[in-house]
Amino acid sequence: MPVYNGQNYLRDAIESILAQTYTDFRLIITDNCSTDGTPDICREYAARDPRIEYHRHAENIGAAPNFNSAFQYASESEYFKWAAHDDVMGKDFLKVCVQKLEADQSLSIAHTLSVRIDKDRKSVGTYDSEFPLNGDKVRDRFYRILWVDHFTEIWGLMRSSFLKKTILYGSFIGSDRTLLAEMLLQGDIAYVPEYHFFRRDHAENYCNSKRSNEDRLKWFDPKKKNSKMRNGPAKVWYYVAAIGRLPMPMSERVHCIGMVSGWATRRIADYLRGNKLTRPRINIGHKSGAARVPELPPRGVSLLA
């Protein structure tokens, strides 16, 4: 769990992890030199539960290096998951995701359906309308991660042996997408058709509080200088490098390179016209096996109860 100044929602995130029905895990918290009550909260829970490891950086190294440091502490584990300090996991999240990964060794990621919650834990929607990223062919998965709008799969349970073959998070805007692409180039993602993941939408989160490219790049890595030409070329380089480096049939490699070319051409055309990024329509969404969207206990009620 990488965190920086997360005191507002940190207890919810930690407690939802400690309440998991699958109990064989370590919770590694990497604190990016927080200046609020985050260190005290982390030390409080670490003192209660020996599964928690708390590490604090001497300075703010940026979100991307901090996310990567979390994996470095846990790289010997069979499975790995990044957890945001403001999200909540249903109590069976780890159990059902581990079952998926153990049943199929070719999978790179397992994830569940996702609920959007507000600052008070109230369910305000789902992400079912976003198209799923799974597919039998490498080209299908790669095409979808290129064009999907919102994706919560970056918070899924990942196979560490696959994650070690990626470049992890890069110090540029959107490197979560390139990382997820590297995982999907190696193997499929399995979805549990139930709601066990709760993504919090609030005013202080990255998407809502970091509006300019300059602010977003500082969030990823404060040591990098902002440039309008930095992020697009960086993504192209990462995509092409991953397609060339990771094992796949030559026919899939050729198709994926062609997709990068098409994606880059469309991005350049939108930029020259002064338009926001346009996306192709993919008429497929998630299918839930749940009768209704679950509700969490109201804010203030311990998730360990």
Residue 201, pLDDT score: 92
The Cα 22–Cα 98 span in angstroms is 9
Q: Is the pLDDT of residue 230 over 70?
A: no
Tokens 């560490």 found at: 160
d(CA 238, CA 56): 29
Beta-strand runs (E) in the chain: 2-3, 27-31, 52-56, 79-80, 88-89, 109-117, 123-126, 157-159, 189-200
For the stretch 94-119, pLDDT in tens is 999 999 999 999 999 999 999 999 99
What angle, rounded to 10 degrees, do the helices at 138-147 and 250-273 form?
20
Over residues 243-281, the pLDDT tens digits come to 999 999 999 999 999 999 999 998 888 878 877 777 777
**Where exactly are the structural domains of the chain?**
75-203+210-273
C-alpha distances (whole Å) from 291 to each of 21, 193, 297 are 22, 11, 19
Taking the domain 75-203+210-273, which CATH number applies?
A: 3.90.550
d(CA 93, CA 180): 19
With cut-offs at 50, 70 and 90, classify the pLDDT of residue 208.
low
Q: What percent of the chain has pLDDT over 90?
A: 75
Beta-carbon-side half-sphere exposure of residue 278 (alpha carbons within 13 Å): 12
Residue 174 has pLDDT above 70, yes or no: yes
The per-residue pLDDT for range 113-123, each reduced to its tens digit, is 999 999 999 99
Examine the pLDDT at 283 and tell me if it is beyond 90. no
Q: What average pLDDT does the chain have?
A: 91
> Which residues, 6 or more positions from 121, have their beta carbon under 8 angstroms from its beta carbon?
12, 88, 198, 200, 296, 297, 298, 299
Give me the mean pLDDT over the 288-293 stretch.
Answer: 73
Which pTM was predicted?
0.93
Q: Which two tokens stand for residue 207?
A: 């998407």
